[in-house]
Structure 1
Amino acid sequence: MTVREINLKYDMPPSEVAVRRMEIELSAARHTRQKLFKFIHGYGSSGTGGKIRGAVRRALSARQGVAWVLPGESFGPFSAEARDAAQRWPALRQDRDWGRENDGVTVVVLR
Structure 2
Amino acid sequence: MTTHLHPDERQRLDMLRTALTHDFEVHTARLTQLTADTGDPGEAHTRSALIAATRQSLDQVTDALRRIAEGRYGVCERCAAPIPAERLEVLPHARFCVPCQQKHAG
After TM superposition, the score normalised by the length of structure 2 is: 0.27
Q: What TM-score results when the alignment is normalised by the length of structure 1?
A: 0.26
Q: Which has the higher contact order (CA 8 A, sep 6+)?
A: 1
Larger radius of gyration: 2
Structure number with higher strand proportion: 1
